[in-house]
Chains A and B, each alone.
Chain A
Amino acid sequence: ILNVEQSPQSLHVQEGDSTNFTCSFPSSNFYALHWYRWETAKSPEALFVMTLNGDEKKKGRISATLNTKEGYSYLYIKGSQPEDSATYLCASTNAGNNRKLIWGLGTSLAVNP
């Protein structure tokens, strides 16, 4: 994988459902993986930055895992609420690319009340 790919592109869930999405990234020379939450008409806000294989991070009902050997990260939302509706972006950086972030296109989540 040369680029950062996110799936699914969009997701509609009911309030209370738990959901997860995937970020695939280049695993060679991996350095860090970022997750951001981007609400409509606002600016992206950082959720997590992860660097170590097997790392797990949690913020309230949102958690993320990281597998650097196979090049993927999962973002989980437990008990989705309407306020979780947003686009979730991931970005990775490799040791060799001058630490520049490569961004995915995002997963757009809509939580219906």
Chain B
Amino acid sequence: ETGVTQTPRHLVMGMTNKKSLKCEQHLGHNAMYWYKQSAKKPLELMFVYNFKEQTENNSVPSRFSPECPNSSLLNLHLHALQPEDSALYLCASSQEQGFEQFFGPGTRLTVL
């Protein structure tokens, strides 16, 4: 595997389900990010992790719970989501201060 990978690529879940999105970067980077991309809206930064520590949480509802087991892996645990949470969820990584972010292919999430 190279670059940034995300699984699953598509996910349909009900409002009472618990699911997880997974992201893995194979670039040796130290920073990882979760973004939400909804139709006709700019990318919304959700969480930032630097060296496995969360450094930013942009007022994301607690039904989204990130987890960073190591500097290469970033999970997003989902519970009790709402239909308005349906979107493309993008993971990215970068060197700590490198700024260039490399993105995964995204997970298309649909909440019924």
Partners in one complex: no
Identify the B interface with A (CB < 8 A).
none
**A residues neighboring B (CB under 8 Å):** none
